[in-house]
Structure 1
């Protein structure tokens, strides 16, 4: 294999892998962006992601409809968001502590109910082929795009536009920046934050269903590998901007696809190190983000981490 062919193969594999790996990051980070824009942080999205993966897989297995599984996974995520929102509005309750508790609760619940679905094969989500024009199998495979990725791209654009240009977006941003100002305007702060957290949970649940119903495409207890927590770091890196979340998700996805891409051309030395690239990137991003000048630039004023 020539150097040019090997490079092309790696780049093509990274392109395809970036799209696959980035999809859960995209949905979870967009959901967390909306939640944090309302002034609440939800560290329980890892548990929501895992439970969404389990519930979506179970529904797909029993009904034969993976799209119904995606929908149920979203609603399951909304229930976790509603629980988080309800608990956080209680007096003297810290949303970060509640998030950690719900992360453990969600993963434990998923592991308990998911034992029966580790071996059975559920119907998987289909993909859309954009490579029919090519005679090269690698190109056709790389251009097999799942509709959820396309939906995530549209969601990022809509969320970015809505937060900037609609009354609803103004209400969410005002609530997140200053609760007293929102109350003075007659805005029900708890209601806005509850609905935003539920919407964020819905997105995280959909991200989890992608993991179990498309890539990797099965239910196992180690399915998430911390992607829910990494997505929270991604939101900080993206400065609470949905469009930057999309770009950052692709960057994380490309980092996650680096190891398999190199293995596809026979480079296996350091494979596990390259598989750790997303975690290393998360660590570097968090270190870079604690700069005294840039640490929380763009952060909603009501977040617990800003006080």
Structure 2
């Protein structure tokens, strides 16, 4: 990329890469944020992400419609969320252990059913070019934005508004802070957590659809690269705020785009080390937020990580 405009190719590549790479982070983190605000942690979203990617690709290939693929991924994510929520509502069940089990279950199912869809080519999701005004192909490529990214921005604002200003949001926050207080208000904590976990799974499924139907735009068994797990760190970093989740997703996306950006301007030695930037960032975030000197500001009191 940067042969025509020199070093300007690096920030352009990072901007474009941040937009592309951040979208699955955004959807999974919004799903995890909603789930955790209800007082439940779901480590199974990695499996949901992968299964959503496979479901979206398979349905898009069979029907010729990428939007039906997104719908299929959303339904699959909802089912996984309902399964996780139902199991976790049983007595003496650990949320984290169930999440890990369902992560492996979802990935195993995706690999099993997805083997026949590795070679076929499914239709891509549409994108909008905001760089039409420029004659530089680098600018046009950097500002080519998938519609799901724009939907993710709207979802961040909508989720933030819902949690702050609606009865549904109040119920989710009350359940996440104290099940005893929720019961005193006449709420059913298990039902609220179940529905929140299901909605969180739907968000993760959409993130998977983006991976297989736009970027990288194919189905294979290594498609997620751990983004579902990294989203848990992202939510902690964002202090359980959906709008902060958007900015944190852009940060993680920019870190993921650093390696390809350096490669695009001819950096051939050691550039591959920068591909590890998202994982290093995840480690730094977890160490920083786990420090005894730091408080879990904004964390729902019923979360396992706060007890």
TM-score by length of structure 2 reads 0.98
Deviation at 1:3, TM superposition (A): 11
2:222 corresponds to: 222
Change (3 A) 1:32 1:2: closer
1:154 corresponds to: 154
The residue correspondences of 1:1-307 to structure 2 (distance < 5 A) are 5-307=5-307
Whole-Å Cα distance in 2 between the matches of residues 295 and 62 of structure 1? 49
Whole-Å Cα distance in 1 between the matches of residues 84 and 216 of structure 2? 28
Whole-Å Cα distance in 2 between the matches of residues 239 and 268 of structure 1? 37
Q: Extract unaligned runs of 5+ from structure 1.
A: none
Change (3 A) 1:163 1:115: same
What is the alpha-carbon root mean square deviation over aligned residues?
1.4
Deviation at 1:298, TM superposition (A): 1.3
Whole-Å Cα distance in 2 between the matches of residues 134 and 3 of structure 1? 16
Q: Deviations over 1:33-63 (max 9, x none)?
A: 0000001000000000000000000000000
Whole-Å Cα distance in 2 between the matches of residues 293 and 84 of structure 1? 33
Deviation at 1:157, TM superposition (A): 0.7
SS for the counterpart of 1:276 is helix
Task: Count matched residues.
Answer: 307
Q: Deviations over 1:62-118 (max 9, x none)?
A: 000001000110110000000000000000000100000000000000000000011
Q: Deviations over 1:227-264 (max 9, x none)?
A: 00000110011110111100000000000000001111
Q: Deviations over 1:149-168 (max 9, x none)?
A: 00000100111111111111
Q: Extract unaligned runs of 5+ from structure 2.
A: none
Q: Is the Cα contact below 8 Å between 2:34 and 2:200 reproduced in 1?
A: yes
Deviation at 1:137, TM superposition (A): 1.2
Q: Deviations over 1:268-288 (max 9, x none)?
A: 211221001000100011111
Whole-Å Cα distance in 1 between the matches of residues 16 and 98 of structure 2? 36
